[in-house]
């Protein structure tokens, strides 16, 4: 198989390194605007060189971002080339368009590294679906936020200090918004739910609350109650709809997610027959992510010719179908919150069970009154 790598950054270098010793996968081109003398004749600055070469079987997109990634991947699919990508932003935004293009052109689109990094998450969802019905999925899908929460809980760090350390270690970007505001998890959840539930969710269908406003005082108080906070994705199949949301979640100490250390992920699905299966590992990083890109190429070379799901349909998101109690801390409580309050806890309150839809809608208004407002679901 002849391969072109689009992007020679962290993951692109990892893919190239892993392929150098293989005889079944041959890197014919590397596309990047920068100069890399060590690549010699493999380097090209023009994507048309790749698109017009009939010997290129598969394009691996690891550039990141939406543009020109979308244009390049679309052109590759239209040129009859298989595509492997680690780009969760691209797949979650253009899920309908890219899966349709792959089908129309009779080529394979795979994105195992886009949700789970090095964890073989999507391929196991695909495998389980062959004989089982997936009813739930979710868990810790972002290593940066887990690193921050773990450091705040076990090393009593302030949020800003934990974030700075995550940035120094390369776990968080200079602009960490996609991680700490939950957008990265939102994208991974959209991809995962679409595959597990054969649906067509958009990221804007999934309400999202991050950890930006959590304080060391919150974390320490929760620890005295035997609770740990983690930023979790949650998806659930209902009758005729699905529920999907991202929010900080309070877990009893000793639960599997509460025990996940540092920047690791723990992602879980539940099947009607198989029950609960969880996948633990590195959700990002050069070689873990590159491993899944290369695995996708091997699968294609061995005859895999389709996306993970072929029966996608429009399904409404119903977050009224899920209700639970919340921990809420705000300097500007209103009558709605006061009516729901069950008891005080630290600087906040614990509510009666309330639907996820109602709480997330309330939060958007509450943040206008109190930009430091923080909520966490209580399971």
28 is catalytic: no
84-113 average pLDDT score:
97
Q: Determine the average pLDDT of the residues in 321-347.
A: 97
Structural domain boundaries enclosing 57: 2-120+287-301
Stretch 4-10: mean pLDDT: 97
Q: What is the pLDDT of residue 318?
A: 98
67 and 182 in a common domain: no
pLDDT computed for residue 124 by the predictor: 97
Asked whether residue 128 is assigned to any structural domain, the reply reads no
Average pLDDT over residues 315-326: 97
CA angle 136, 348, 225 (to 5 degrees): 65
Give residue 342's pLDDT band: very low, low, confident or very high (50, 70, 90).
very high
Q: Give me the pLDDT at residue 49, please.
A: 98
Q: Are residue 278 and residue 291 in the same domain, yes or no?
A: no
pLDDT surpassing 90 at residue 165: yes
Task: Say yes or no: 205 and 296 in one domain.
Answer: no
Residues 245 and 170 in one domain: yes
* Per-residue pLDDT band at 312 (split at 50, 70, 90): confident
The residue among 169 and 182 whose pLDDT is bigger is 182
The answer to whether the beta carbons of residues 29 and 41 sit under 8 Å apart is no
Q: Quick one: 166 and 41 in the same domain?
A: no
pLDDT value, residue 66: 96
| Domain final position from 246, 267, 301 | 301
pLDDT-above-70 percentage for the chain: 100
Q: Which of 89, 70, 183 is nearest to 175 (CA)?
A: 183
pLDDT computed for residue 310 by the predictor: 84
Cα–Cα distance measured from residue 40 to residue 232, given in angstroms and rounded to the nearest whole number: 44
Is residue 309 domain-resident? no
Q: Quick one: average pLDDT of 269-293?
A: 96
Q: How many domains does the chain have?
A: 2
Give tens-digit pLDDT for 186-226: 999 999 999 999 999 999 999 999 999 999 999 999 999 99
Averaged pLDDT for residues 101-123? 96
Rounded (5°) CA angle 120-68-110: 20
Domain containing residue 344: CATH number: 3.30.360.10
Determine what percent of the chain falls in helix, strand and coil, rounding each to the nearest 5: 40, 25, 35
Q: Which of 20, 188, 313, 344 is catalytic?
A: 188
**pLDDT by residue (tens digit) across 96-106?**
999 999 999 99
What mean pLDDT comes out for the span 162-183?
Answer: 94
Q: How confident is the model at residue 164 (pLDDT cuts 50, 70, 90)?
A: very high
pTM: 0.96
DSSP state string for 47-101:
HHHHHT-TT--EEEE---SSTTHHHHHHHHHHTT-EEEE--HHHHHHSHHHHHHH
| Rounded mean pLDDT, 49-73 | 97
Residue 311 has pLDDT above 90, yes or no: no
Alpha-carbon distance of 239 to 41, in angstroms, equals 56
In a domain, 169, yes or no: yes
pLDDT of residue 379: 87
Instruction: Give the per-residue pLDDT at 210.
Output: 98
Q: How does pLDDT run across 143-161, given as a tens digit for each residue?
A: 999 999 999 999 999 999 9
- Say if residue 40 is exposed, middle or buried (CB neighbours under 10 Å; 0-12, 13-18, 19+): exposed
Q: Does 186 share its domain with 329?
A: yes
Beta-strand relationship, 323-329 and 242-252: unpaired
- Is residue 92 within 8 A of residue 190, CB to CB? The reply is yes
Query: Within its chain, how far is the Cα of 97 from the centroid?
Result: 19
pLDDT above 90 as % of the chain: 96
Residues 356 and 329 both lie in one domain: yes
Residues with Cβ within 8 Å of 202's Cβ and at least 6 positions away in sequence, in order, are: 92, 95, 190
Last residue of one domain, picked from the residues 252, 272, 301: 301
Does residue 106 contact residue 83 with C-beta atoms inside 8 Å?
no
């Amino acid at each position: 198989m002849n391969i072109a790598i689009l992007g020679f950054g962290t993951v692109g270098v990892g893919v190239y390194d892993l392929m150098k010793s293989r005889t079944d996968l041959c890197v014919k081109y590397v596309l990047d605007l920068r100069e890399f003398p060590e690549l010699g004749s493999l380097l090209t600055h023009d994507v048309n060189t790749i698109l017009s070469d009939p010997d290129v079987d598969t394009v691996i997109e690891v550039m990141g971002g939406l543009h020109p990634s979308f244009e390049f991947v679309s052109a590759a699919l239209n040129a009859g080339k298989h595509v492997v990508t680690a780009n969760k932003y691209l797949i979650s935004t253009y899920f309908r368009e890219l899966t349709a293009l792959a089908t129309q052109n009779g080529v394979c689109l795979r994105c195992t590294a886009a949700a789970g990094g090095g964890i073989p998450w999507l391929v196991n969802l695909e495998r389980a679906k062959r004989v089982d019905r997936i009813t739930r999925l979710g868990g810790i899908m972002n290593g940066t936020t887990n690193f921050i929460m773990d450091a705040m809980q076990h090393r009593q760090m302030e949020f800003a200090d934990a974030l700075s350390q995550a940035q120094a270690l390369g776990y968080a970007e200079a602009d960490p918004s996609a991680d700490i505001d939950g957008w990265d998890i939102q994208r991974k959840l959209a991809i995962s739910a679409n595959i597990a539930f054969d649906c067509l969710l958009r990221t804007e269908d999934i309400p999202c609350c991050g950890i930006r406003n959590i304080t060391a005082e919150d974390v320490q108080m929760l620890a005295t109650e035997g609770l740990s906070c983690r930023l979790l994705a949650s998806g659930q199949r209902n009758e005729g709809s699905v529920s999907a949301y991202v929010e900080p979640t309070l877990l009893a100490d000793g639960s599997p997610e509460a025990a996940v250390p540092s920047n690791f992920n723990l992602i879980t699905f539940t099947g009607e027959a198989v029950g609960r299966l969880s996948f633990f590992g590195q959700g990002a990083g050069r070689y873990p992510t590159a491993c899944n890109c290369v695995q996708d190429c091997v699968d294609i070379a061995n005859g895999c010719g389709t996306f993970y799901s072929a029966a996608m349909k429009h399904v409404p998101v119903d977050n009224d179908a899920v209700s639970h109690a919340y921990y809420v801390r705000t300097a500007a409580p209103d009558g709605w919150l006061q009516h729901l309050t069950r008891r005080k806890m630290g600087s906040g309150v614990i509510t009666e069970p309330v639907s996820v839809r109602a709480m997330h809608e309330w939060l958007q208004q509450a943040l206008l009154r109190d930009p430091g407002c923080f909520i966490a679901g209580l399971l």
